[in-house]
Every structure is written in C-alpha cells, then in structure tokens.
Amino acid sequence: MNFIVIGCGRVGAELAYRLYQNGYQVVVVDSNRNSFNRLHADFHGRTVEGEALSSDTFTRAGMETADGVAVVTNTDTMNAVIGHAIRAHYPQVKRVLVRNYDPAMRGMLEAFGLQSVSSTAWGAERLQELLIDASFRSVFSAGNGEVEVYEIYIPEKWVERTVSDLLSGCTNTIVIAALTRAGRAELTSPDLMLKGGDILTVSATLEGVTALHARLQEGMEA
C-alpha cells in the first residue's frame, strides 16, 4: 500500500517511520527541506519538497496512486484545506485523515466531511480518565476518545449479582462486549451472574465508565 504524509513535524516524521517499518511505501511532503531531518536515520521512503497545495507537489508525491493520506501540518486551517482539496480532486484516495490541534476547530473539519484525529482532545480525555480511575484499563480508543473500550475486573463483593444489576442507571452510556471467566470469553446476557475474578470488556463514554466505577464501589450495599 502507498501512503503520503503531508507535514514532517514530530507527528509526521513518527507516523512516516512507523508506516515504513510496517513495510508500506511512504512519501513525506513538506515545504521546508530541513524538516526531513526529523525522519529516522533508518527511514528509506521518499521525500518531496514543495508547497502542500500545489498540484505539482501532489503529482510528484504520487497522489494518483495513493491508498491513504495523512495531513499533519501545524495548522488546522491548512489541514482542512489540503484534506478537502485531496478529497475533491483525487476521489480514488481511499482514506484522507487530518490532524486537529485546537478542539474548537473540529467543527470546521467536520463541515468539510474530513475524518480527524485530535491529539489534544484525546490526550485530555485520557488524562481525565486516569485521574478519575486508573484501575480501569483502556484497551482501545474510538474517534478522539469519546468512546473507549475498557477491561474491568469484577471484585469479590459482586459475586452472584447480575450484569443487569451492575448496569443499573448507566445502560445508555455503556455496552457490554464480552465477559472473560477463567480465560474463556463469552457474550453476556442481562441475567448472567457475575463471579469474583470476572473481567468485563465494555464500550463506554467517560460518563458511563465513571458511573460503572461508582456501581462497583457500591457492591452488595446497592
């Protein structure tokens, strides 16, 4: 697969190297030749110096045959314009992702119909989550952290209580994906009896996982 990374800052250089390490063809684009110095010494993909909105730059980067493009320049406005231009002129590109710095600008990116990744929003969400409860292990983050998948260990005081009991009051913000018992995973039902040592895999918002933590603390007194 062929990927283009537009912007060779810290994120762009790291992304390009990770893609290259995984065996993909990678082209890095930046208007400043010195930016390519950030690339790892072992990176042997192509670099293209040129203005990111230039059709000549797109052509030299191989936009016509790209499977995906990550636009990670240092401004949200530029990322939105570049991403929109690629979507408009190169519809064959399957995936166009743009980096978002300022969460207040996410609405603009969504108005362009662009899929964005916000390190600021995701980082803040993750820090908040860890400050509130570090015992819930996040194993996957969707979008910018609005919904995450957690592994939650069931304490002994919840023995012989049901999944329905546990989710009381927070069913709109949590979906139970699976229960692992003695190393074997299974789908759950509302009347399934919990046992000490069970591990629940749940998909939840921060509101949902916070409510679930409160329920677990209530234990048999709930």
The CB density around residue 172, as the number of other CB atoms within 10 Å, is: 11
pLDDT in tens, 130-165: 676 555 677 888 877 788 898 888 877 888 889 888
Q: What pLDDT, on a 0 to 100 scale, did the predictor assign at position 222? A: 40
Band (219; pLDDT cuts 50, 70, 90)? low
User: What is the Cα–Cα distance from 139 to 105, expressed in whole angstroms?
Assistant: 27
Q: What are phi and psi of 2, to 5 degrees?
A: -110, 125
How confident is the model over 171-218, as pLDDT tens digits? 788 988 999 988 889 998 888 998 877 888 999 988 888 888 888 777
At residue 70 the predicted structure's pLDDT band, cuts being 50, 70 and 90, is very high
**pLDDT by residue (tens digit) across 27-66?**
999 999 999 999 999 999 999 999 999 999 999 999 999 9
The pLDDT of residue 129 is above 70:
no
Token pair of 193 as six digits: 């009896």
Give this prediction's pTM: 0.66
Of the listed ranges 15-24, 35-44, 91-100, 106-115, the one predicted with least confidence: 106-115
Tokens for 94? 């399957």
- Nearest C-alpha neighbor of 33 from the set 18, 48, 19: 48
* Residue 105 token pair: 């600008």
Q: Which domains does the chain have, with CATH numbers?
A: 2-119 (3.40.50.720), 133-221 (3.30.70.1450)
Look at the block and give the residue holding tokens 């609005």.
146
Burial class (CB in 10 A: 0-12, 13-18, 19+), 199: middle
Written as one string, the DSSP assignment of 40-109 is -TT--SEEEES-TT-HHHHHHHTGGG-SEEEE--S-HHHHHHHHHHHHHH-TT-SEEEEEES-GGGHHHH
Provide, for the chain, the percentages of residues in helix, strand and coil under a 3-state DSSP scheme, each rounded to the nearest 5. 40, 25, 35
pLDDT at 97 (0 to 100) = 94
Residue 63 · residue 38 · CB < 8 Å: no
